[in-house]
Copies of this chain bind each other. A is one copy, B any other.
Amino acid sequence: MPKLEPYSRKLPYSYQLGVFPALMLLEARPECAARLLLHPQGLENEGVIKLREICAKLGVREELAERVLRRESKKDNCFAGLVFNKYDCALDPSLNHAVLCQISDAGNAGTAMRSLLGFGVKDVAVVKPCVDVFDPHVLRASMGAFFKLRVKVYENFDDYRAEFPDRPLYPFMLDASKPLNEVARAARPPFSLVFGNEAAGLPPVFATYGQSVRIPQSDEIDSLNLAVAVSVGTYTFMNGEWEMGNGK
């Protein structure tokens, strides 16, 4: 039984901590679950009982691992967690995408993913250098949404463009000429919404890749939080489509 290492982006596995998010992982990606970690004080917990039932059916080994749970969650009362194998996804070419370029903050990445799932964009390209998408902080902020998305990491933006050469790109830029609502009204799916990183946004060359988009905002702020920009942009572009059964 190999020893579980502290989380690192170099490892082939990661940790999904917490009872509810672990249940979401089992629902969405049962084939990735590797080991169920249990806290001796959580065995009566209803969610833990359910986790153990599902893992038993899947043949996922369980073990008491209070120390590992405490180390990875930095909490004393984390009742359960799953060790899972990192995996690859392909993006669906027929659906809308979000492209997160060089996103560096794990909380922003996870919160953006939660919104993307909520607003019906299930295909997410993440362009390096970026946070490890399997970082437990990303998973935690995504509230389990990560496992219901198709997330693919690209070495650079050109690789993404080469794979999907024919779709309209909408780069979000502070100095774009057209405001969000106007561009969103004219957009025809499948499209890609492209966002830059927290500090610098997208480089000017992105304005030549497609119709750039500005989220109208007061000049009293420098910019919006990145997860907020992704959410407002996606909400406006999708405009309720996720309620009409168009999601896959």
Contacts and interface: CB of A to CB of B under 8 A. Distances in A.
A145 B220 CA distance: 8
A217 interface: yes
Contact of A218 (B117, B141, B224, B225): B117
Interface string A103-132: 000010001001101111000000000000
Q: Could you say which interface size class chain A belongs to?
A: 20 to 34
Interface string A208-248: 00000001111011101101100110011001101100010
A181 interface: yes
A150 interface: no
Number of copies: 2
A156 to B, nearest CB: 28
Interface of A: 107, 111, 114-115, 117-120, 141, 143, 145, 148, 179, 181, 215-218, 220-222, 224-225, 227-228, 231-232, 235-236, 239-240, 242-243, 247
